[in-house]
Amino acid sequence: MKDWEIRFVDEYNQLKDRTEKLHKIIVKYEANTLEFRPNCSIELLKEQENAMRQYMYILEVRSQVEGIDLYDNVSRAIGAGGSAEVS
């Protein structure tokens, strides 16, 4: 993979992880099991999650156009720490 493709996959994976974590916060907030009280409103957190999911969708579509496999474990392993070129 080229450097920009590795960065692309890394960006997607980071966004996906952060979106999932935010979703868990929202669910716990609504179930009254969240261990802290956010300073911002739940509505703002939901808007943020929606924006993040829209961005994820855009990256998923672009990955198809660019021919980047977001779900390839080799890509993630290389992106996580290596710099090997994979064809």
Domain ranges of the chain: 3-81
3-23 pLDDT, tens digit each: 999 999 999 999 999 999 999
User: In sequence order, which ranges of 2-41 are alpha helices (DSSP H)?
Assistant: 3-30
24-65 pLDDT, tens digit each: 999 999 999 999 999 999 999 999 999 999 999 999 999 999
**Coil, strand, or helix at residue 19?**
helix
Tokens found for residue 2: 């080229």
What is the rounded average pLDDT of the residues 56-82? 78
Closest CA to 12 of 81, 82, 72: 72
Cβ-count burial of 8 within 10 angstroms (0-12 exposed, 13-18 middle, 19+ buried)? buried
Q: Can you give the pLDDT at residue 72?
A: 76
Q: Can you give the pLDDT at residue 71?
A: 86
- pTM beyond cutoff 0.75: yes
Proportion of the chain in helix, strand, coil states, percent, rounded to 5: 70, 0, 30
